[in-house]
Amino acid sequence: MATDRLLHLLRAPTGSPAAATTRAAGWGRPRTQRVDVWQVAAGIRRASVSCSSTSSGGQGGLTYKDAGVDIDAGAELVRRIARMAPGIGGFGGLFPYNDDYLVASTDGVGTKLKLAFETGIHDTIGIDLVAMSVNDIVTLGAKPLFFLDYYATSKLDVDLAEKVIKGIRDGCEQSDCALLGGETAEMPGFYAEGEYDLSGFAVGVVKKDKVIDGKNIVKGDVLIGLPSSGVHSNGFSLVRRVLEKSGLSLDDQLPRNDGITTTVGEALMAPTFIYVKQVLEIISKGGVKGLAHITGGGFTDNIPRVFPSGCGAKIFTGSWEIPPIFSCLQQAGNIDDAEMRRTFNMGIGMVLVVSRESADRIIEDTHGSNPAYRIGEVIEGDGVQYV
């Protein structure tokens, strides 16, 4: 049985030109000891963290693939799909409409939902859902217009669903877009009791001559990072494996960079930051050549997506403050730096590629609660170097 909340159904006319689309390849507890995490990787500023973990005992560290997520397999699927639907691979799909492009994206929140079930925090997971799509389409310079959601469960708990959808509404308000409708599907026996799944779909608009596509990026351009609120909504299969294998508890105390103490569970469930208003304001002042939403694949896989051929990135690893939750996870899971950088956002959720002439102005204009950091530069070559 499905309870239909769909207000408008959008469908391309038969025979309409194919639109470029977007697709992303979206844990017992042993005896624990207390560890103080100060600095795990040279050149990266970290706060002191006290968290639970087990001794590594000489064993190798945990990886995302160990946790069941194979980023390389996901990338291979995207390559195969691209042969059937040329033009995919960006953060959003572009559909020409008069003088504009409609920009679309779809996503979920992955296994962060498992922590929502365990912590009982359901009123912000909807913000995550909206953020994952609207943060994608703003990388093309598009303003989000509307959002649709899909909520599926085996037995509908109206009060629980209301909390989740309130979060979706809050996310839409933060991104200044309309919650246009959605679908509530009740499918007995399909999900575990008390659990649900979410998907979201966002559409925005940008003038054809205002699309930010990275084509004009050159050596010497500056990379500016906008801080994340934490882990956001990627890497939670590895997070859950760390919790399972290390003995790290969701109730463990975790000091934040601002001196306030929270719990590991609360830090992990912090909603994904929505960058729409901040990014569109920065774009309006000029100088932005490309943007990368740092999701699954971290810096290593996401930043090169916006570069033209022959360009790579050099990242200055000591140039921003990393939230303590990352140090805690890295220490507890004995995760090496390369794996961290290819799984998590490491405290930077959005990267702007800007002209050298505009960099100082953009950084000076972003003060207070929404700072920006000069985190690197564009170099000749390919991939991402960390120095």
Number of residues written out for the chain: 387
Is residue 325 within 8 Å of residue 230, measured between CB atoms?
yes
pLDDT (0 to 100) of residue 370: 80
Is residue 131 within 8 Å of residue 272, measured between CB atoms?
yes
pLDDT (0 to 100) of residue 14: 32
pLDDT (0 to 100) of residue 63: 84
Q: Are strands 288-293 and 348-354 parallel, antiparallel or unpaired?
A: antiparallel
pLDDT beneath 50, residues of the chain: 1-50, 52-58
Q: Are strands 143-153 and 178-186 parallel, antiparallel or unpaired?
A: parallel
Under 8 Å CB-to-CB from 43, ≥6 apart: which residues? 317, 318, 387
**Where in the sequence of the chain do the CATH 3.90.650.10 domains occur?**
212-386
**pTM for the full predicted model:** 0.82
| Helix, strand, coil shares, percent, the chain, to 5 | 30, 25, 40
For domain 89-210, the question of CATH label 1.10.3720.10 is answered with: no
**Where in the sequence of the chain do the CATH 3.30.1330.10 domains occur?**
89-210
pLDDT (0 to 100) of residue 235: 94
Chain centre to alpha carbon of residue 115:
16
- The domain covering 212-386 belongs, at the CATH homologous superfamily level, to PurM-like C-terminal domain (3.90.650.10)
pLDDT (0 to 100) of residue 333: 94
pLDDT (0 to 100) of residue 302: 95
pLDDT (0 to 100) of residue 59: 53
pLDDT (0 to 100) of residue 258: 75
pLDDT (0 to 100) of residue 53: 47
